[in-house]
Chains A and B, each alone.
Chain A
């Protein structure tokens, strides 16, 4: 380990996972396989304290996420407390459960923006991925409600081998729904998505067509629709700067109040993440050993340690290193310089085979956390 302590800036954003309850069962859900039950969820008053501590710590934006945050009847109360704390609030939602009354209450509480997920442009295919018969209709209705309320809308479309053939239609649907922004996000393979990787990972050809489609749409729709594009690690040459680096920009609070550097970090062995009941966000951010563990460059092995990109990608993703190699402290296998890069090629081979059935996200298929 380096003797030089990294200088720690305050975090920019907080991902507040208010609940793991969700009416959908998307097989690429970013939630952990060990889903939290409602009985373990923080109450609104505690979330209010978390928001206040976040504001004092220097957090600028809060993303209300889940599960489905609308599953909490006290959502507007939590949003209001974030607004009071000076945070810019963003609701990340499936749209299920949104009605004009709740939308008005959320706007009144100071919510600035809504991100609505869609699973596909084709209603039947979308409903199949969402594992809910009426999902697409409910999402269309939700987009209209957001629009009526005058809040800006981002459509988030997670793309994979089974819907990439309809990317043009997905982009057209985002325009039709009145979105300001569209996120075209290739699946990131952790948790549920990793379990379903063989059913989701696209081929190289699909990826290349998708990238060209996004670039053409960006040019065509400039000034109308902003398109953000998240590319899949499995075809990358260099890793992503996951979360902008461990403990550098983001905080995640789980439904039960555990504070993490990213939403998947709880899966890493040997690290103990404190809860909001045990310490303030500030104490955790600046002093928790778990946040210090992979912060900066001191922890890095070769080839990262001597790499001139070590402060650009920060060694990639710790959770990906762990799930693929069994060691969270190795270079992210997404990097072509990693000795484990061949693991990505092995996974890519499944993209040419018949996709297996989805394992849907939900409590029935959840794997209990080890305690």
Chain B
């Protein structure tokens, strides 16, 4: 994936906090994802404006983590969600 790629949620995918479960959820056509804490932090940065590189930069700063160490995992997760049509370019 190109570092400059900007990702967004398609209009029919809802990423929101569920008060009942006190958890972030992703609602998509006939799919319900319950992202873990790390995935939630990544998805909160997907806003249709930040590039994938900028998302990784922000996470590295936020969690004081070496950029090179997290980049692969973040890209893999985002690619998987693109393949599932939960995210789009």
A residues at B contact (CB < 8 Å): 10, 12-13, 58, 60-61, 63, 88, 90, 112-113, 115, 150-152, 154, 180-181, 183, 222-223, 226, 228
Contact = CB atoms under 8 A, between A and B. Distances in A.
Interface in B7-38: 10-12, 14, 18, 20-21, 25, 27, 29-30, 32
A222 B11 CA distance: 20
Contact of A60 (B10, B27, B84): B27
A13 B84 CA distance: 20
Interface string B68-89: 0000000000000011110000
A60 B32 CA distance: 9
B30 A58 contact: no
10 contacts: A10-B21, A58-B18, A112-B27, A152-B12, A152-B85, A154-B29, A180-B85, A181-B30, A181-B85, A223-B82
A222 B30 contact: no
Interface SS of B by simple majority: loop
A10 B27 CA distance: 16
Given A13-B32, A181-B30, A112 B85 contact: no
Q: What's the interface size class on B, roughly? A: 10 to 19
Given A112-B12, A113-B12, A226 B83 contact: yes
A180 B30 CA distance: 12
A162 B18 CA distance: 44
A223 B25 CA distance: 22
**4 smallest A-B Cβ distances: which pairs?**
A113-B29, A58-B20, A88-B27, A152-B12
B30 A60 contact: no
Contacts of A154: 29-30
A226 B27 contact: no
Given A180-B85, A223-B82, A226-B83, A112 B29 contact: yes
A226 B84 contact: yes
Contacts of A151: 12
A64 to B, nearest CB: 12
Given A63-B30, A152-B85, 14 more contacts: A10-B20, A10-B21, A13-B32, A58-B20, A60-B18, A60-B27, A61-B27, A88-B14, A88-B27, A113-B30, A154-B29, A181-B30, A223-B83, A226-B85
A63 B12 CA distance: 15
B30 to A, nearest CB: 6
A154 B83 CA distance: 15
Contacts of A61: 27, 30, 32
A240 to B, nearest CB: 16
Contact of B25 (A10, A60, A183): A60
A181 B10 CA distance: 14
Contacts of B18: 58, 60
Nearest to B10: A152
Contact of B29 (A10, A60, A181): A181
B29 A180 contact: yes
Contacts of B32: 12-13, 60-61
A83 B60 CA distance: 38
Nearest to B88: A223
A222 B83 contact: yes
Contacts of A60: 18, 25, 27, 32
A90 B10 CA distance: 16
Nearest to A218: B83
B55 to A, nearest CB: 19
A13 B32 CA distance: 9
A175 to B, nearest CB: 14
B21 to A, nearest CB: 7
Given A112-B12, A152-B12, A223-B82, A58 B27 contact: no
Of residues B14, B20, B29, which shows the largest number of chain A Cβ atoms within 10 Å of its Cβ? Answer: B29
Contacts of B85: 152, 180-181, 226
A115 B29 CA distance: 9
B84 to A, nearest CB: 6
Contacts of A13: 32
